[in-house]
Amino acid sequence: MPVHTLRSLTALERTSQSNQRLGCALAFVAGAVNAGGFFAVGQYTSHMSGIVSSMADELAIGNIALVLAGLSSVGSFVAGAAVSAVLINWGRRREARSRYAIPLMLEAMLLLCFGVLGTILERERVFYVPLTVDLLCFVMGLQNAMITKISRAEIRTTHVTGLVTDIGIELGKLLYWNGRSQAEPVLCDRARLSLLASLFSMFFCGALAGAFGFTHLGFVVTVPLACLLVLLAIVPIIDDLTEARK
């Protein structure tokens, strides 16, 4: 991929094309991490609605340990989003061109930590499984906050409930028959529908790759995912480092 294309993915000057390319890449990573994490620790880590519902269920039957585990997962997701916001605002205050790339680089490092933790899981599951779940929830919060800020809340990549809802809305507009009414016509935003469908497809492809990867290769599958994130982030970071040395 050309350097100027890589630079544009997390550039401050946003276009619909750069948002779509970055969103699709991150949706693939999120799908892979979510599905792979389920194979690794038996829990999806980006689905906060499910975790909160599960907390209520466990509280109703008095299983306080699982309620606290769910609370820890939600707290980790929130902490990841908060750290992403801190890093981006830190970069903005310093006029860094890599302000959006820094959270991605951190995410890459944390995914590698997940891979390292995986080598210990089989021996010490009681201790490392909760830690791994919190780590993956933190990563998902980190990523979701970053893409939300860079796209001005147009794109989210770690869950598909909103995507499917918006796809349904646009399909409803597409199928609506305006007839001969003089009122303002109902029109489908085809560009948005294409974006939503692309994000959904990439999340599914990532989930498929993550499931197959963890089943057949194990935790080493985190390495190419981390490398993809590094590739997305590295050019603006090098640009800032080069500028700082002048």
The 8-class DSSP code of residue 184 comes to P
- Provide, rounded to the nearest whole percent, the portion of the chain with pLDDT above 90: 61
Please name the residue that has the structure tokens 């006029």.
95
Given a contact cutoff of 8 angstroms between Cβ atoms, the answer to whether 71 and 55 are in contact is yes
Please name the residue that has the structure tokens 């944390």.
110
Please name the residue that has the structure tokens 């201790």.
127
Note the pLDDT tens digit of each residue in 51-70: 898 899 999 999 998 899 89
Given a contact cutoff of 8 angstroms between Cβ atoms, the answer to whether 140 and 161 are in contact is no
Coil, helix or strand at residue 98: coil
The Cα-based distances of 90 to 86, 172, 193 in angstroms read: 6, 42, 34
The span from the CA of 184 to the CA of 178, in Å, is 9
Q: In the predicted model, what is the mean pLDDT of residues 76-103? A: 95
Residue 78: closest CA among 120, 18, 121, 134: 134
Q: What is the dihedral of CA 44, 49, 51, 54, to 10 degrees?
A: -120
pTM value is 0.92
The 8-class DSSP code of residue 152 comes to T
The span from the CA of 79 to the CA of 20, in Å, is 26
Binned at pLDDT 50, 70 and 90, residue 105 comes out as very high
Q: What is the mean pLDDT of the chain?
A: 90
